[in-house]
Amino acid sequence: MLSKTKSKGSFGSRLQRALSSTFGDQSEEDADGFVPEYDFGFDIAVLGVAGVGKSSLLAKECGFAPPATRSLGIHFMERTYDTLGSVVRVRFLDVDGGALDLGCNVCRDAAAIILCYDVTNRSTFDAIPNILSAVKSTSVPTSHQPLFTLVGTKNEDPSLRAVYLDEAAEFAEDNDLELYETSAVLDGSETADAFAQIVTGVCKLVEVQDEDGGVTMNLDPVVLYERNMHLHRPLTATERIRMRGAKRARVAETQDETEECDWL
């Protein structure tokens, strides 16, 4: 007799589920009366060779002291932003350079990916194409591709520069990436500006015109889900049904694309 075993999903999805229960992804489970502190949320994964300054950059942006020791694995930091009339909670996944495999799995559910290199260290820039292709080769359905951004760090001293802006800009253009340069030791305004633009860039993926001709976010849970974002309120019965359909379609799309890849 055939026995049915329930699939637990990929390592990435299991990790994500565990994280959601730890960090309280309450998009579907909240009880009535819950007062949201934000309208919706999403993850941004930050990748790059060890030592490029990922943790320092995130510490600056999220208002923590920079870490005293090297991070191992994946660390989480979060903060909220006011964007396009909504409050959005962004959870940053600080992926240690040595945890790229783990990072690639987590990237599957991220709305945006920041690839960091150190402008004073050429080899960290040379590593970016490999990191980019490793992330892109994870089975993310085409319609759910995250927004990719390239960030050059430690740009405060022009005399130490080893990667010139023109070259980085050319790579960014060729690979359809936004490019920012910043430093975690300066006052933080450049960093804040870069992060604000990245968060706005993600939100713009689901923007719509309102009746007055202004721009607002489309907070339909399925539209958000398509871009790896989630609402921070309980879903209605109809929304739950639509979400189940969208999730099933995504699983089917992932399988289709994996099968296509097997033929290559």
Ligand X SMILES: Nc1nc2c(ncn2[C@@H]2O[C@H](COP(=O)(O)OP(=O)(O)O)[C@@H](O)[C@H]2O)c(=O)[nH]1
Binding site for Mg ion (CB under 5 A): 55, 71
Residue 53 binding ligand X, by CB under 6 A: yes
- Shorter beta-carbon distance to ligand X: residue 70 or 247: 70
- Shorter beta-carbon distance to ligand X: residue 7 or 159: 159
| Whole-angstrom distance, CA of residue 158 vs CA of residue 164 | 10
Instruction: Count CA atoms within 13 Å of residue 29 on its CB side.
Output: 6
Return the residue of 20, 28, 50, 239 that touches ligand X, per CB under 6 A.
50
- Shorter beta-carbon distance to ligand X: residue 2 or 65: 65
Distance of CA 179 to the CA centre of its chain: 15
185 makes contact, choosing from ligand X, Mg ion, none, with CB < 5 to 8 Å by partner type, with ligand X
Residue 51 binding ligand X, by CB under 6 A: yes
User: CA 204, 109, 150: angle at the middle one, nearest 5?
Assistant: 60
- Shorter beta-carbon distance to Mg ion: residue 56 or 83: 56
- Shorter beta-carbon distance to Mg ion: residue 147 or 184: 184
| Whole-angstrom distance, CA of residue 25 vs CA of residue 130 | 31
- Closest contact distance (angstroms) between CB of 257 and ligand X is 31
154 makes contact, choosing from Mg ion, ligand X, none, with CB < 5 to 8 Å by partner type, with ligand X
| Whole-angstrom distance, CA of residue 139 vs CA of residue 237 | 30
- 3-state DSSP call for residue 103? helix
- Closest contact distance (angstroms) between CB of 145 and ligand X is 24
Return the residue of 16, 27, 105, 183 that touches ligand X, per CB under 6 A.
183
- Judged by CB under 6 A, the chain residues 57 through 96 that form the site for ligand X are 66-67, 70-71
- Encoded tokens for 148: 């990719």
- Closest contact distance (angstroms) between CB of 48 and ligand X is 6
156 makes contact, choosing from Mg ion, ligand X, none, with CB < 5 to 8 Å by partner type, with ligand X
What angle separates helix 100-107 from helix 128-136, to the nearest 10 degrees?
Answer: 50
CA distances from 73 to 70, 95, 101, 175 (A): 10, 6, 10, 27
CB–CB of 127/98 below 8 Å? no
The amino acid at 244: R
What stretch of H or E contains 183?
none
Residue 185 binding ligand X, by CB under 6 A: yes
Which residues contact ligand X (rule: CB under 6 A)?
Answer: 48, 50-56, 66-67, 70-71, 153-154, 156, 183-185
